[in-house]
Amino acid sequence: MHSKGLNRLLSQRRKVAVCGIGEVFALLYAYTHLADAEVICGFDDNRDRQRSSRWSFPVVSIEEAAQFGVSDVFLTLNPRYTAMVSNRLRALGLCPIPVLDGA
């Protein structure tokens, strides 16, 4: 997906959840309209990122998604992990939305 496609999706949703808050997220936050969206929560398996997050939203594991009442999750992570993470999200009844193409 190109930045225009992500911006279009973000314009349809004011509140979003994201999965992955590393380098890809930081780039998307800087160069798309992601910074204008209300990020309800971020999912990241890296415990250090969960504990030391400087973002304005909570960062937790995917398994804690239910407490935030989210259903759609933007995958803001390295595309090589899209399939694996998408399967985990779907198993919890969540809808993954891949942001980047590639493998």
Domain 3-98 indexed as CATH 3.20.20.20:
no
Q: What is the dihedral of CA 73, 6, 48, 91, to 10 degrees?
A: 20
Closest by alpha carbon to 34, among 60, 53, 42?
Answer: 42
pLDDT-derived band at 103, boundaries 50, 70, 90: very low
Closest by alpha carbon to 60, among 46, 76, 75, 71?
Answer: 46
Q: What single string gives the DSSP state of each residue in 54-65?
A: -SSS-EE-GGGG
Domain segments of the chain: what residues?
3-98
* pLDDT at 28 > cutoff 70: yes
What is the tens place of the pLDDT at every residue in 63-93? 999 999 988 899 999 999 999 999 999 999 9
